[in-house]
Structure 1
Amino acid sequence: MFSLGSLSETHTVRSPAHVEYGSGAVDALEPFASEHDADSALLVTDGELARSGVIDAPRARLESAGLDVEVYDGVAPEPKLSMAEAAAERVADHDLVVGVGGGSSMDTAKLAAALAVTDRPVRDLLGTDNVPAPTGPLALVPTTAGTGSEVTDVGVFADQRDGGVKKVVFSSQLFADLAAVDPDLTKTLPPGVAAATGLDALTHAIESYVSLLRTPYTDTLALRAIELVAENLRPAVTQGPANDAARANMSLAAMLAGQAFVNSGLGAVHALTYPLGMECDLGHGLANGVLLPHVMRYNVPAEVERFADVAAALGVERRSGESERAFADRSVDATFDLLEDVDVPTSIAAVGEFDRETFAAFADVAFEHSEHNIERNPREMDREDVIAVFEAAAAGR
């Protein structure tokens, strides 16, 4: 199995101020509100969650602390900058901001809270370390097990002024004051959402583990997250609320993977999902899942030992006399098997029609808007390499 390697150099750990994890973690909202002497809160979420009642538990905890709660439910999947701007207009009337939902709602809450403490326009905050001041009190409560957004300082948004291209805001000011990770809130996840978000967590973990910026800390988190996904995603999808343990372990996996990648960076999967998701209107987690094994297959030659570790974490048993490279290659097969078992396509041909010209345009978008992820990928990639990976992903398993 893996080695932690040398601890002779120092590493910085980036994390939220306070994390509560486990069944009932949502209860932490009540003392959080009291700690900040709050009278009101803006709860940022999406309309479907508001209508379904999933937000009822966190809302009730805030109200039991004596707060008036306003719900902003204008978030949609793959959120736009305009949604954060709209939410930010309401933040000034409240003492707390609480993001409840998947990555879209939590990212929107982060950026809305940041916009509320500056007069700068939203696009000035994009990029790295451009949020000029700490936000007001911010709590994040995930209702999916995938993005890990509750423990990261990153937000991803579509920019309608730039053709819907996704833009990133990355700042330590976006870390939550409280991340309340309560797996009870994931019990009603539909199977398709559970699959897509779970594969998002797996992508975060694998890309963190082979990132050129990895550390002993991120290695530990990432490898355990891979193991948890391998052991629990299938029952979390197929058994749903009948398997509390699987759903709880997926929440833990997503949180660990989020903490891993925010400290290590990601890789080429996340660069390539930018254009694919835009072109096919494909959710982030699903796009990651479809592309993951194809990028893994490209990367294996550069990190044979690491992908052998990934294979073991995925539950692959090593055959007698099997070479390290052959075992590492089976990490790709195991990932394909997992996709098939949770009913996710193994080829991008299932989500659209493509040709080489389209893939060339995809490569341009990937390098223009996500070159930092390509630079952290363990195997160097040029434009032709990106096109070749897309072609392989279209051909399928």
Structure 2
Amino acid sequence: MLDGLASRSSTYDVQSPDRIAYGFDATAELTAFAADADSALVVSDENIVGAGVTDPVVAALEDAGASVDFFTDVKPEPKLSMVEDAADVLRDGGHDVVVGVGGGSVLDTAKLSSALAEHDVPITDTLGMGNVPGAGRPLALVPTTAGTGSEVTHIGVFSDSEGVKRVVYDAALFADLAVVDPELTRSLPKPVAAATGLDALTHAVESYVSTLRTPYSDILAREAIRMIGSNLRGAVLQGGNNDEARYQMSLAATVAGQAFVNSGLGAVHALTYPLGSEYGVGHGRANAMLLPHVMEYNVPAETERFADVADLLGADAEGSTLDRAYASVDAVFELTEDVGIPTSIGHLGDLDEAELESFTDIAFEYSQHNIDRNPRDLDRDDVVQIYRNAL
């Protein structure tokens, strides 16, 4: 349903990395990417390298004749200082290309460190929208989870010295090559597969109802929702034994990433900010806990679209359009519970009214742009009430 967005007076831009290689063993495409490189820096983390997940990446780079070094000091919810450290290693080592291999934290670090290695500016000057001086070293991004979509976005999320999340948006952060190889998700732990898969669902749902959505993002968001509804349970509960589910989830995460980078997100991504900064909850898990509660708030503003979401998730919904719309909320609650993620925030601790007010302050201060793109207007009382409902 494009609901009148495609008018003669409307022109839309499509934002995307230069190239996407997708499929089992797609890592072989890195050989051509590094054909002219003498050396490559692989940005990753110790656990991924230790588990051997980066082995096919290294093999592909070495097949190109490039020597390979590693930067593995990336941690979840990466700090700006980690990006600076990676940029120093890249610059001092004279590496020709950068290859990020990991989850969203790793890929975001690879993006911004690539640019900082080329441009001698303070990292704080790059924060916000459109402040990166220019393109960095040739960059390939290889996700090892099926969720963040970071491989196809121009966005990086980092914590500053005070633990506050800061965002960088700039077209200079798009990868030259995104390599999506479902094989790299084979050994993904179930809790990570669940959280990242629900992160992808959040991207798709928020894209579909964003105030900045486009006909192009609609197509991508709808297909991502359908694929996640059909495959997330299999990818989590059957893991490495279900190649089809893993293949579909890897594709869905990338498609959802392309959807939201062309539409913007919404209130879920605003309200999860304090869960990460104050309680250290991972991004995907935080999104999963709040998604159905924000959906429930938004249903009256986009009833037909949430009815679509119910259908795409395979909900057995009958009745009025409004009934079907609320069935989408029930479907997300059920999916989240089935894959083992909490559907509330109450387990984080004794969250009293003062704490919920503090959460609200953080959401409005650091994520106003996501609140602005939400399909239903939100004031402070609305946000506090959503947090209450999520307890």
Please say whether Structure 1 and Structure 2 have the same fold, judged by a TM-score greater than 0.5: yes
Partner of residue 244, structure 1: 243
Once the two structures are superposed, residues 331-381 of structure 1 have per-residue CA deviations (whole angstroms, 9 ceiling, x without a partner) of 000000001100111111123320111010111110100000000000000
- Answer whether contact 1:141 1:150 (CA < 8 A) is retained: yes
Partner of residue 6, structure 1: 6
Partner of residue 223, structure 1: 222
Opposite residue 282 of structure 1, the aligned amino acid is V
Counterpart CA distance in 2 for 1:263 and 1:360 is 31
How much has 1:241 moved relative to structure 2? Answer: 0.4
Counterpart CA distance in 2 for 1:353 and 1:268 is 23
- TM-score, normalised with respect to structure 1: 0.96
- Answer whether contact 1:151 1:175 (CA < 8 A) is retained: yes
1:296 aligns with 2:284: no
Q: How does 1:86-97 map to 2 (within 5 A)?
A: 86-92=85-91, 93-97=94-98
Opposite residue 364 of structure 1, the aligned amino acid is D
How much has 1:186 moved relative to structure 2? Answer: 0.4
Opposite residue 378 of structure 1, the aligned amino acid is P
- Answer whether contact 1:2 1:306 (CA < 8 A) is retained: no
1:19 aligns with 2:16: no
Partner of residue 33, structure 1: 34
Partner of residue 333, structure 2: 336
1:350 aligns with 2:347: yes
Partner of residue 160, structure 2: 159
Opposite residue 378 of structure 2, the aligned amino acid is M
Is there any run of 5+ residues in structure 1 with no aligned partner, and where? none
Opposite residue 18 of structure 2, the aligned amino acid is A
Counterpart pick for 2:367 among 356, 366, 370:
370
Counterpart CA distance in 2 for 1:80 and 1:4 is 42
Counterpart CA distance in 2 for 1:190 and 1:211 is 31
Counterpart CA distance in 2 for 1:178 and 1:244 is 24
How much has 1:78 moved relative to structure 2? Answer: 0.8
Counterpart CA distance in 2 for 1:335 and 1:344 is 11
SS of residue in 1 equivalent to 2:389? helix
Opposite residue 349 of structure 2, the aligned amino acid is G
How much has 1:7 moved relative to structure 2? Answer: 4.3
Partner of residue 320, structure 2: 323
Counterpart CA distance in 2 for 1:154 and 1:210 is 20
- Answer whether contact 2:2 2:215 (CA < 8 A) is retained: no
Deviating beyond 4 angstroms after TM superposition, the runs of 4 or more aligned structure 1 residues are 1-5
- Answer whether contact 2:317 2:327 (CA < 8 A) is retained: no
Counterpart CA distance in 2 for 1:126 and 1:276 is 21
How much has 1:3 moved relative to structure 2? Answer: 5.5
Partner of residue 280, structure 1: 279
CA distance 1:346–1:146, change in 2 (3 Å): same
- Answer whether contact 1:202 1:229 (CA < 8 A) is retained: yes
- Answer whether contact 2:356 2:387 (CA < 8 A) is retained: yes
Once the two structures are superposed, residues 53-86 of structure 1 have per-residue CA deviations (whole angstroms, 9 ceiling, x without a partner) of 1111101110111111001000011111111100
SS of residue in 2 equivalent to 1:221? helix
Opposite residue 261 of structure 2, the aligned amino acid is V
Is there any run of 5+ residues in structure 2 with no aligned partner, and where? none
Counterpart CA distance in 2 for 1:27 and 1:194 is 24
Q: How does 1:1-397 map to 2 (within 5 A)?
A: 5-8=5-8, 9-34=10-35, 37-92=36-91, 93-160=94-161, 163-319=162-318, 322-394=319-391
